[in-house]
C-alpha cells in the first residue's frame, strides 16, 4: 500500500529534486482516476465556477460550492493530498479566512487551502498557520483579481514587477506557507522563485524550472472552450483514452518534458 502524500513529503520531494504533479478535480470519479495515475496533489479549484458551472470567471464560486466539490473529491482520492481554493471574498480578514478554511477541512476533507495575493495576505497566512491550517499561496496572474487586471495575461514581465513578486514569495514563505503556485510569469522568473524558496513552487504557465506543475483537468483533456492558453497542452490529442492522457501528463511532468518551450513565456 502506497502512503498518502503529506505536506512534509512535498517538501522532501523538492529536496530530492522530484517534480510534483498537481491537477484539478471536482468529483469523486475523476479524483480516483487522478489518484490511480499518481497525481501528488489534487486541487479543488475555484475554476469549477468556469468549467463546471459555466461562469465567465471564478468570482461567482462560493464557499458552499467549494465545500461540496471538495467533499466529492475526497470520496475518490486515497493517496493524493487534497488542496482546496478559498474562493473570492472568503478571506477578507484572517478570522474570516480561518472560519472558511475550517469548513473546507472539516466538511470538505481538504488538507490544505490556497489563497491569492502577496504581502497583503501575509497576516492571513500567518494566522491560518497558527491554527494548524496548511496554506498554499498564489502569485502572478490572480484570477480572483480579473476585474482589476482587465485580462488574463502574463504578469511580472518588467524587472520591478518581477522583484516585487519574488519579495512577495519570500514573505509568504516566512509567514508559514507550505506551498506556492505562480501563474503566467516568464519562465526565468519561475525558475528564480523556485530556486530562492525552500518550499515547493508549482507553476502554471511559469516555465519548466518550477518544482512542479498544475493544470486545469478540462484544459489538459482538450475540453476548454475558445482559444487554448499557451501554457496548456492537450494530452488527449495523442492518447487512447482519458486515463492514458492523465498518465501521460503525470509522466511528462515527472521527467520534465512538460512544459516545453512552446508552453512557456
* Choice among 9, 18, 183, 238 that is catalytic: 183
Separation of alpha carbons 231 and 228, rounded Å: 8
183 is catalytic: yes
Question: Burial letters for 16-32: b for 16+ Cβ neighbours within 10 Å, e otherwise?
Answer: eebbbbbbbbbebebbb
Three cell numbers, residue 37: 495515475
Rounded (10°) CA dihedral 102, 11, 6, 26: 70
Question: Is the backbone peptide bond immediately before 2 cis, with ω within 30 degrees of 0?
Answer: no
C-alpha cell recorded at residue 47: 475554476
Q: How many residues does the chain have?
A: 265
Cell 501528463, residue located = 249
Whole-angstrom Cα distance, residue 183 to residue 201?
A: 10
**Is the CB of residue 67 less than 8 Å from the CB of residue 99?**
no
Classified as helix, coil or strand, 107 is coil
Neighbouring C-beta atoms of residue 193, cutoff 10 Å? 27
Q: Which residues of 68-86 are buried (b: 16+ CB within 10 A; e: fewer)?
A: bbbbbbbebbebbbbbbbb
**Residue positions annotated with a catalytic role:** 183
Amino acid at each position: 500500500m502506497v502512503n498518502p502524500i503529506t505536506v512534509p513529503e512535498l517538501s522532501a520531494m523538492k529536496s530530492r529534486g522530484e517534480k510534483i504533479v498537481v491537477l484539478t478535480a471536482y468529483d469523486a470519479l475523476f479524483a480516483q482516476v487522478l489518484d490511480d495515475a499518481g497525481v501528488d496533489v489534487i486541487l479543488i479549484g475555484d475554476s469549477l465556477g468556469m468549467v463546471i458551472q459555466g461562469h465567465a470567471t471564478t468570482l461567482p464560486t462560493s464557499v458552499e460550492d467549494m465545500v461540496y466539490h471538495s467533499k466529492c473529491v475526497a470520496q475518490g482520492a486515497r493517496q493524493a493530498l487534497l488542496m482546496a481554493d478559498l474562493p473570492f471574498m472568503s478571506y477578507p480578514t484572517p478570522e474570516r479566512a480561518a472560519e472558511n478554511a475550517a469548513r473546507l477541512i472539516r466538511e470538505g476533507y481538504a488538507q490544505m487551502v490556497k489563497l491569492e495575493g502577496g504581502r497583503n495576505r501575509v497576516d492571513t497566512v500567518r494566522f491560518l498557520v497558527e491554527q494548524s491550517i496548511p496554506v498554499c499561496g498564489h502569485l502572478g496572474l490572480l484570477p480572483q483579481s480579473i476585474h482589476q487586471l482587465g485580462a488574463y495575461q502574463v504578469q511580472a514581465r518588467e524587472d520591478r514587477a518581477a522583484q516585487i513578486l519574488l519579495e512577495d514569495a519570500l514573505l509568504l514563505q516566512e509567514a508559514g506557507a507550505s506551498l506556492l503556485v505562480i501563474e503566467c510569469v516568464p519562465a526565468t522568473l519561475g525558475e528564480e522563485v523556485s530556486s530562492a524558496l525552500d518550499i515547493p513552487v508549482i507553476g502554471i504557465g511559469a516555465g519548466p524550472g518550477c518544482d512542479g506543475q498544475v493544470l486545469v483537468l478540462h484544459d489538459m483533456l482538450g475540453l476548454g472552450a475558445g482559444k487554448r492558453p499557451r501554457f496548456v497542452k492537450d494530452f488527449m490529442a495523442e492518447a487512447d483514452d482519458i486515463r492514458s492522457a492523465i498518465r501521460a501528463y503525470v509522466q511528462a511532468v515527472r521527467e520534465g518534458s512538460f512544459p516545453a518551450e512552446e508552453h512557456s513565456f
